[in-house]
Structure 1
Amino acid sequence: MKSQRRTPKDTEKLGIGNEELVRTFLDESANLSENCSNKVRSSISQIKNNKLNNNDIWLSVNESANLLGITKRAIQKKIKDGQFVTREVTGRGGKRYEIALSSLPVEAQARYWEVKIKDERLKIKDEKDSSLRCAPFRMTVSAKALARHDLLSAYAKYCAGFGRGKIKQAKETFLKLYNEKRYFDQVYNILGPVSYATIERWRKQWEAGGKIPDALEDRYKSPSQSSISAEQSAILISHILSPNKPPLKEAIRLAKEEMRLKGIAFAQSDITFYRYGRKWIAENLPIYTFTRYGGKKLNDELAPFVMRDYSKIEVGDIFVADGHVLNFEIINPFTGKTKRMQLIVFYDMKCGLPMGFEIMPTENTMAISGALRRSILLMGKLLGEDKGFIPRAVYIDNGRAFRGQYFTGVHDFEQTGLKGLYERLGIKTIIAKAYHGQSKTVERFFGAFGEFERRLTTYIGNNIENKPARLLRNEKAHVNAYKALTGGQAPELAAVYHYLYEWILEYAQRPHQDGYFKGYSPLQVFEESAKKLKALPDYESRLIDFEKLHFLMMEERRTTIQRNGIRFNNRFYWNEALYGRREAVVIKYDWMYPEKILVFEPTGEFICEATLPERVHPAAAILGTEADKALLRRQLEAQARLKKETAQVGEVLLNAGVGDKIKDERLKIKDERGKIKEDGQTVIGQLVAAAEKEKEAEPEEPIFVWEFERKAWEEERLKMKDERLKTKKKVI
């Protein structure tokens, strides 16, 4: 088709005037090329005349090596031999040499100026291109459409300066420059080579669309114009959404087989069904996720969640509880066998620091309370107090994953009494609903906790593909090395508590890698927030004495007092308050402090704190040290004192003439299988009451708020009894 010359009026109307623009560009390019060529000739002439210009160009050793095509080492050797004109300069890294361009061979200088000319041309071209470009890319327009718009704008301006009969030649010249990447190289990287017919088609499409980038978008088939019928689509989607999770290609094969059985004709290829299936999944991802993977995956990965503003709370306001099955083995203190136990952690929502934890040898909901007790104690310690510090609220996951995995048989934490325990301390309990795992902030800690697990020799891996080599088949060398290292023994529970406590102190100083407090360690966040916390008006009221937290400790009910005290964890715990008692009691313990337990009546009254007695040397008097002899002497004295006190009370009763009655009553006790109940008093109590004709009336027991008040009252009552016995003995 023959091109027609546009009039100046038409050019102005189309917005592609200014014919001088391209001519100026070509003139400047020619002048630059001539100037650079003159510089090369001048430089060559100076070298031939052995003249060094005062304003010579200095090159680094690397640049000179690249121009000469030799190594840096070879350049340094030539400098040492004095083959180049050099100078010494000081910069970063010390002194270095620079080489004068004019002292290099002529070929190297020619290469330098060739590169220089090319760089200058590209610089001018980029400056001219910037004046021809349209507005920056918009997100609603594709990169291809914008590149075509830039190319056609320059194409139109270039051809506008040529008269009738020369326009086609100008177009071909422009395309030649473009396809050789001498013009618009960045656009070329997007579009690639363009033919004359293609650019003319684009031009017509562009002009018809108002010369905007949107007119140059690819016109693919509309998404709504699918060749898949509604009937075919329903069959295919039913197989895609199968809970058995078939791959898409397998779902297509099953769908085609069902279409054949139902007599539904189809001519589409597998790739057509595949593209349709992928498109449908992308547009209906929530439905696809729910039907194939369930509601939990939908909630965890697709459903939006509430963003928390942690600036509205302070440390100690909210503790979050969560569980984790340990990936290493510990010796079970009850059975003596190795076992993977469960870890319960209370995590401060503000600073991200684990405040307290409990490792459960058995499944017991009181483990949650034990972990909370430690959290309260550590919180007070970090605040510099000699008391615990009570949080405002605790968050406990009530989902099946937490209940079922850690507490067999617990169907709802709302019915376990935990809320009542915590409300005694004024703590609000948040028991979350199932399938809301994203609301827990403790998951980040469990990710880092894997480091601690891998430090222990009994680590067994966090999944079946990540097991240590000793647990794989036929790895005898690894098994032998493990046995030599550990002696085949796993760590004890008390040792793991202390290892974990030390690691948490280390973790507290690590900066957060992301999130709200990125760059700050949990300890730094805690310290800053603690300053604000101490200024709050209710700070003092949230402090609590240690003794008032006994009810949060873990408990073991089936325990009976024996001759040497209470047997627990294969060890005896003793306190003189247990002397002579054989009834059932309740003990409360803390695995982190195994040296002591608290003993309570079944009704909840505090009895004593029992500790582990020191064991004596089997032959302390002969083979033991002075310390062994002193320990033996103290224990023998305590034993003798208890016997003496018992004998004194017995003499009082015998002298009162009640010995025969006691013997008769003991026979009755034996016949009645040890049941000693008559009007709520023991037989010995009746005999003592008869012997004491003028016994003082016992003070009425007051109502107590805390156990430590009851304990003080009991001690005072015992003192009064001792004084009465001493007085009666003097009378007798």
Structure 2
Amino acid sequence: MHNWYSARELAGLPGMPGTERAIQLRAKRERWEGQGRLGSKAVEYSFGTLPHETQVHLIAASVSATAPEPLPVIELIGPKCDSVLASRLNQDQRSVLTARLAFVREIERMSQTISQQRAIDSLVALAKAEQLSPYLTDRVQRANDRKTSERTLSERTLKRWLSDYRKHGETGLAPTRRQKDMSLPAWSASFLTCYQRPTKPSVEAAYAEFSLKHPAERPSIHVVRRFLNKLSAEARERGRRTPQELKALQPFKRRLTKNLHPCDVFTADGHKFDAEVLNPRTGKPYRPETTTVLDVATRKAVGISIGEAESTIGVLDALRDAVQHGMFAMFYVDNGSGFANDTVREVVDRLGGEMTHALPYNSQARGLIERSHQTIWVNAAKKLTSYIGADMDKHAGTKVHRISRKQLRETGSTRLIPTFAEFMAGVEYEIETYNNSPHRGLAKFRDPLTGKLRHMSPNEAWDAARTEGWEPMVAPAEVLNDLMRPQVIRPTRRGEVTWSGETYFLDALRDFHGQEIRLAYDVRNASRVWVRTLEGDLVGEAILDGNASDYMPKAMLEKAYEKRESGQMKRALDKLETLTGKRVEMIAPCTGPSAQLSAEQLAEAQRFAQLAAPKAPTFEIPADPISKYHLWNQLNDRVKSGALLPPEEAQWHDRWPKHSDYTAMQRMFAHAAQARA
């Protein structure tokens, strides 16, 4: 609406002449208040001096016009609005507030031209006549906040909205909503005592126990269920879960690794393999213990170790494999017995790094290494028939267990359980596959082959860091070998020193009889140990059973065997003579055929003679892949020198290089040779 209208704008309206000239003459005759329009010769007439019929039409036309959409509620803060309360309104309250505010704004706009009472009356009349603008018409029902669509505007309602807005701002227009009653009933503590237990009883079981103990204050089970639904998951499960399991329902802090470089942090953990493997020592099925060392920045698996249980030996073996890629600054591990010991801490200190332990019962802090167990080891175990994880079918697992044990009893081998060599070949494949697969925890880049964006793999992240100028700090092989040998203090007597149930000998130890020395051992080679003084000076290498020899010479033993045999035979003859009363003679063995034997008896005797005769040495293939690799190299050297191999040796020499064990051993020895170089 406007306060001033020209004759052209008023011509033809209700209560007005149809021409501008007639309006000008009437205005002059009735002395209408007028003023000159700025920038024009036209005369404008005041809205208050116009006839009542014309005013009503102008008001209706103004309200019926399409109004623009209002600004968001949060920006339409009234003079006394509490912004904190406004932010706590839900979406339903905000929609009602916005609809009521539209009518408040319309009344304020109309009040600039006419009185507030007349503006309210006009809106009420137009609403009853259904002549409001489409914008206001759509908001009448929402502003009334009623489920029925028959509600319309009233003078009292509009005045109440105006009063609430002027007293409390926008929040005064918001309807009140009934909130949940979050007060604790008197019986809640007694019921939760029965419900919040580690045994996780059902609601019915807890309610039955609660009813027996407290029959007087017993509510219905439906009231109990509604009470439990009001509680948060954390509050409801407290007591039913341990504090460690309850962390799955609690907020957490996400650790970022964007600012780390490779080898800044190594993290390690042990994992019991979820499938059975044949033990290389005993030939019996067992579950290997895998120890994995992960580089946090690139997620690369830099070191692994396979053992029978989590131990210091396995940790040092995995750490030795890891530091060949680069020296670490921090070693982040848990409080397991394989990590929390003086031996590992001593080696870490000598390497110049720092070992940090995670808080007890806080495996979420080491989510990277825990997730790698699923990606590498659990997925690898599920590829084997001998998988015994929790999600393995019970009947299928029982059948595999029964058949494999039967085959082991009858034949000593089974194809249902992989050998250790097959297991190690699969481990190398899984580690290589993991390090070359995209990891969602790493940055994205555009694949040069496909042109698509994807996450980097651990190896690609490692190479990208080197491209940017980072280089790993790698110690020489001889230094690593010395540092990675753990040391213990042992007493020595008469040139001998004992360790791990074995005896080692070094002649130079005669000067240290009765004293204590430092003994350094290799976790992968038990054939020798390195002896140092307490001050750290190297004394030498002590050899396993270095001073051991046969208790008696073999020639003397052979003579003793013959003498014992002759005595036993003589005593047997004397016993026969005593029993029979006849002379018994022992006939010397004869190489010629006996004339007293028939042809069948002679053939039978010759057959037994062939079975008893010493057999020619046969070609035996070792069981472990390392011995196989050494044997193949020996045969290969003979072939290169021009020697002819027997048929069995030649056949195995040609076939074994096609086996996966040969490829795995060749890669392992090549990697070791590069490390020594």
TM range (shorter): 0.5 to 0.7
* C-alpha displacement of 1:606: 3.4
Identical-pair percentage? 16
Choose which of 212, 215, 221 in structure 2 pairs with 1:270: 221
Residues of 2 paired with 1:614 and 1:477: CA distance? 34
Q: TM-score, normalised by structure 1?
A: 0.49
- Whether 1:255 and 2:210 are equivalent positions in the alignment is yes
Choose which of 124, 127, 145 in structure 2 pairs with 1:170: 127
Residues of 2 paired with 1:611 and 1:162: CA distance? 103
Range with bigger deviation, 509-518 or 335-344: 509-518
Structure 2 residue aligned with 1:421? 347
- Whether 1:548 and 2:482 are equivalent positions in the alignment is yes
Structure 2 residue aligned with 1:150? 98
Residues of 1 paired with 2:476 and 2:255: CA distance? 24
- Whether 1:209 and 2:164 are equivalent positions in the alignment is yes
* C-alpha displacement of 1:153: 4.2
Structure 1 residue aligned with 2:369? 442
Letter in 2 for 1:614: L
Residues of 2 paired with 1:556 and 1:357: CA distance? 25
2:348, 2:354 within 8 Å by CA — same for their partners in 1? yes
* C-alpha displacement of 1:630: 14
Task: Summarize the Cα distance change of 1:447–1:192 in structure 2 as closer, same or farther, 3 Å threshold.
Answer: farther
Letter in 2 for 1:243: P
Structure 1 residue aligned with 2:11? none
Instruction: Give the 5 Å matches for 1:449-468.
Output: 449=376, 452-453=379-380, 456-460=383-387, 462-463=389-390, 465-467=391-393
Residues of 2 paired with 1:203 and 1:240: CA distance? 52
* C-alpha displacement of 1:371: 0.8
* C-alpha displacement of 1:369: 0.7
Letter in 1 for 2:485: F
Higher helix share: 1
Deviations 1:39-65 (A, max 9, x none): xxxxxxxxxxxxxxxxxxxxxxxxxxx
Task: Summarize the Cα distance change of 1:140–1:319 in structure 2 as closer, same or farther, 3 Å threshold.
Answer: same
- Whether 1:245 and 2:200 are equivalent positions in the alignment is yes
1:290, 1:297 within 8 Å by CA — same for their partners in 2? no
- Whether 1:365 and 2:315 are equivalent positions in the alignment is no
Letter in 2 for 1:142: N
Structure 1 residue aligned with 2:457? 521
Residues of 1 paired with 2:471 and 2:483: CA distance? 25
Cα RMSD, aligned residues only: 5.3
2:198, 2:239 within 8 Å by CA — same for their partners in 1? yes
Residues of 1 paired with 2:476 and 2:142: CA distance? 68
- Whether 1:606 and 2:527 are equivalent positions in the alignment is no
Letter in 1 for 2:288: M
* C-alpha displacement of 1:274: 2.8
1:206, 1:212 within 8 Å by CA — same for their partners in 2? no
Q: SS of the residue aligned with 1:212?
A: helix
1:559, 1:587 within 8 Å by CA — same for their partners in 2? no
Residues of 2 paired with 1:132 and 1:277: CA distance? 41
1:346, 1:354 within 8 Å by CA — same for their partners in 2? yes
Task: Summarize the Cα distance change of 1:524–1:315 in structure 2 as closer, same or farther, 3 Å threshold.
Answer: same
1:393, 1:427 within 8 Å by CA — same for their partners in 2? yes
Q: TM-score, normalised by structure 2?
A: 0.52
- Whether 1:430 and 2:356 are equivalent positions in the alignment is yes
- Whether 1:392 and 2:329 are equivalent positions in the alignment is yes
Structure 2 residue aligned with 1:355? 302
Q: Which has the larger radius of gyration?
A: 2
Deviations 1:555-599 (A, max 9, x none): 9945689xxxxxxxxxxxxxxxxxxxxxxx998565xxxxxx462
Deviations 1:153-197 (A, max 9, x none): 45677898989699367247389989xx99469979x98954345
Residues of 2 paired with 1:608 and 1:478: CA distance? 40
Task: Summarize the Cα distance change of 1:134–1:354 in structure 2 as closer, same or farther, 3 Å threshold.
Answer: same
* C-alpha displacement of 1:333: 0.7
Task: Summarize the Cα distance change of 1:479–1:332 in structure 2 as closer, same or farther, 3 Å threshold.
Answer: closer
Instruction: Give the 5 Å matches for 1:561-600.
Output: 588=522, 590=524, 597=525, 599-600=527-528
Task: Summarize the Cα distance change of 1:356–1:203 in structure 2 as closer, same or farther, 3 Å threshold.
Answer: farther
Residues of 1 paired with 2:262 and 2:284: CA distance? 39
Deviations 1:629-652 (A, max 9, x none): 7999xxxxxxxxxxxxxxxxxxxx
Task: Summarize the Cα distance change of 1:23–1:629 in structure 2 as closer, same or farther, 3 Å threshold.
Answer: closer
Residues of 2 paired with 1:156 and 1:556: CA distance? 93
Task: Summarize the Cα distance change of 1:493–1:155 in structure 2 as closer, same or farther, 3 Å threshold.
Answer: same
Letter in 2 for 1:152: R
Instruction: Give the 5 Å matches for 1:307-346.
Output: 307-346=254-293
Residues of 2 paired with 1:459 and 1:630: CA distance? 36
* C-alpha displacement of 1:207: 4.3
What is the aligned residue count? 439
Task: Summarize the Cα distance change of 1:490–1:204 in structure 2 as closer, same or farther, 3 Å threshold.
Answer: farther
Unaligned ranges ≥5, structure 1: 1-6, 9-16, 26-127, 380-388, 408-412, 481-485, 562-584, 591-596, 633-732
* C-alpha displacement of 1:321: 1.1
Residues of 2 paired with 1:477 and 1:204: CA distance? 88
Task: Summarize the Cα distance change of 1:187–1:174 in structure 2 as closer, same or farther, 3 Å threshold.
Answer: farther
Q: SS of the residue aligned with 1:628?
A: coil
Q: SS of the residue aligned with 2:311?
A: coil
* C-alpha displacement of 1:542: 8.3
